[in-house]
């Protein structure tokens, strides 16, 4: 028996592993460009959140039709990979349907289930293509989805369709060859979905069927390996990052803003409230808010890489719905694009973060930031618990505290709150007088 196919397979598998590990290291370094943040409290609640939201797809079902279709794609991805394990072992050891002799009837049941999922994945992907390109669902036609993002979404759907078709064709040719008693092919029983293709293949010669079966096998396994690498360049990276992303979800009540420790300590000192000095005081004064990705936390950057680009956040954003330029999805895409740009610059020996660009200005404008109402609709809508608002607030802090660049109306409001404890320019005593006056006035019948 020739060992050439095994050798070729091992070379392809090793090459795929090399490029995948290299890309994972690149992504990890980019994510860690963000500041350190510890978020490991309430582990029981974090496990529950991850299992319900990432594994259980809980938030997807707020929109039933896409959730129903996505469910089959997701389950298909998880379950069909068990068959891919058999493909890999067959490729390494030069065997064919390695598990069949050991599982017996259970193998036939598993194969029929795999084929059912393959068909459902195929149907779901076709419907998703129609929704994107024929129906043109509004959230897929926003400005930030032009060019590569739209192509990426269509390309991944087409790849999944072709891979599922390869499985069905391979199984159909395989079982016809087994029924003819050819070589090492094993009769596993009646496979319903690939069996529907038998009339197409039965008239073909044995030699051609062997070619079809082997070509489909190689296409599928090489396609899966290439897909694994491609995913790390695509929005579909959320397949893997959804799990750590939901683990590190912000468990605090929606709308609660994080105080800046440096500002809090200063205010406490002004009020005479005892404060504890940090154990390791910073060598230099830190920046207020965020101007670039290194001012955000690593969790913020991981959020950006976890973005599915589904647009649910933007479709729920009141600012976007009223025609403002703000799109929470674009915010996340911009953070990811900036991280990619800095990472590639560092790998090429370039200036990295010192390239004269920044997230604020070159990617995200003040107009976008100022349009945010801080309503948390985007956070609530995200199916994997991404938090665009945290990034927006940090960048607005920089504009307000480092650049004094907020609109004049905002500055007047801030000043009134500092001096009068309210957005309006009159003293607290006047407010109490007004309240007393209203209370004492006789209400007409």
pLDDT for position 413: 84
Instruction: Give the count of alpha carbons within 13 A of 148, CB side only.
Output: 5
**Sorting pLDDT into bands at 50, 70 and 90, what band is 280?**
low
**CA 124 centroid distance within chain:** 19
Nearest to 306 by CA among 369, 229, 378, 244: 244
pLDDT for position 379: 94
Q: pLDDT tens for residues 341-363? A: 999 999 999 999 999 999 999 99
Q: pLDDT tens for residues 286-298? A: 688 899 999 999 9
pLDDT at 149 over 60: yes
pLDDT higher at 124 or 275:
124
Percent of the chain with pLDDT over 70: 95
Contact by Cβ (8 Å): 388, 250: no
Q: Structure pTM?
A: 0.86
DSSP string, 26-67: HHHHHHTTSBP------HHHHHHHIIIIIIS-GGGGGSHHHH
Q: Which residues contact 433 (CB under 8 A, 6 or more apart)?
A: none
Q: Which residues contact 37 (CB under 8 A, 6 or more apart)?
A: 297, 298, 299
Task: Give phi and psi for 22, each to the nearest 5.
Answer: -60, -45
pLDDT at 317 over 90: yes
Mean pLDDT of 309-315: 94
pLDDT for position 1: 46
DSSP 8-state code for residue 180: T
CA distance 96 to 87: 8
The residue assigned the tokens 């070159």 is 362
pLDDT for position 256: 77
| Pair of tokens at residue 418 | 């500092």
**Sorting pLDDT into bands at 50, 70 and 90, what band is 15?**
very high
Cα distance from N-terminal residue to C-terminal residue, the chain:
102
Q: pLDDT tens for residues 230-251? A: 999 999 899 899 999 999 999 9
pLDDT for position 444: 56
pLDDT for position 284: 54
Q: pLDDT tens for residues 127-148? A: 999 999 999 999 999 999 999 9
Mean pLDDT of 71-85: 84
pLDDT at 339 over 90: yes
Mean pLDDT of 407-418: 82
pLDDT higher at 438 or 246:
246
Long-range contacts of 210-218 (CB under 8 A, 24+ apart): 210/173, 210/177, 210/182, 212/169, 212/170, 212/173, 213/170, 213/173, 213/174, 213/177, 216/166, 216/167, 216/169, 216/170, 216/173, 217/87, 217/170
CA distance 307 to 326: 16
| Pair of tokens at residue 304 | 């950006």
């Amino acid at each position: 028996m020739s060992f050439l196919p095994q050798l070729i397979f091992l070379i392809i598998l090793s090459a795929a592993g090399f490029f995948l590990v290299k890309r994972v290291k690149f992504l990890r370094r980019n994510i860690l460009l963000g500041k350190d943040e510890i978020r490991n409290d309430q582990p029981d609640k974090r496990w529950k959140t991850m299992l319900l939201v990432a594994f259980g797809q809980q938030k997807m079902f707020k929109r039933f039709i896409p959730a129903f279709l996505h469910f089959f794609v997701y389950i298909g991805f998880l379950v069909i990979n068990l068959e891919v394990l058999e493909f890999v072992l067959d490729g390494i050891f030069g065997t064919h349907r390695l598990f069949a002799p050991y599982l017996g009837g259970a193998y036939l049941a598993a194969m029929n289930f795999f084929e059912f999922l393959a068909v459902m994945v195929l149907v779901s992907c076709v419907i998703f293509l129609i929704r994107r390109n024929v129906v043109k669902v509004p959230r897929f036609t926003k400005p930030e989805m032009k060019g590569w993002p739209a192509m990426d979404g269509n390309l991944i759907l087409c790849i999944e369709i072709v891979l599922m078709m390869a499985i069905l064709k391979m199984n159909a040719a395989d079982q016809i060859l087994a029924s003819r008693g050819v070589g090492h092919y094993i009769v596993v029983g009646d496979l319903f979905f690939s069996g529907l293709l038998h009339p197409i293949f039965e008239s073909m010669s044995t030699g051609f069927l062997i070619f079809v079966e082997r070509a489909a096998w190689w296409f599928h396994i090489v396609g899966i390996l290439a897909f694994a690498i491609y995913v790390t360049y695509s929005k579909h990276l959320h397949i893997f990052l959804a799990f750590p992303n939901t683990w590190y979800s912000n468990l605090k009540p929606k709308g609660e803003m994080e105080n800046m420790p440096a500002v809090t300590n200063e205010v406490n000192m002004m009020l005479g409230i005892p404060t504890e000095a940090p154990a390791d005081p910073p060598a230099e004064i830190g920046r207020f808010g965020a101007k670039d990705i290194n001012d955000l936390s690593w969790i913020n950057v991981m959020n950006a890489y976890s973005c599915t680009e589904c647009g649910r956040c933007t479709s729920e954003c009141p600012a976007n719905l009223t025609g403002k330029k703000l799109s929470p999805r674009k915010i996340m895409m911009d953070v990811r694009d900036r991280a990619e740009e800095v990472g590639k610059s560092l790998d090429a020996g370039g200036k990295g973060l010192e390239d004269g660009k920044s997230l604020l200005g070159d990617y995200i404008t003040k107009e976008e930031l100022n349009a945010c109402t801080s309503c948390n609709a985007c956070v609530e809508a995200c199916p994997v618990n991404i938090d665009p608002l945290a990034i927006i607030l940090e960048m607005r802090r920089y504009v307000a505290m480092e650049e004094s660049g907020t609109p004049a109306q905002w500055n007047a409001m801030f000043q009134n709150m500092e001096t009068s404890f309210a957005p309006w320019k009159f003293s607290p005593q006047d407010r109490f007088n007004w309240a007393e006056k209203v209370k004492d006035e006789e209400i007409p019948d």
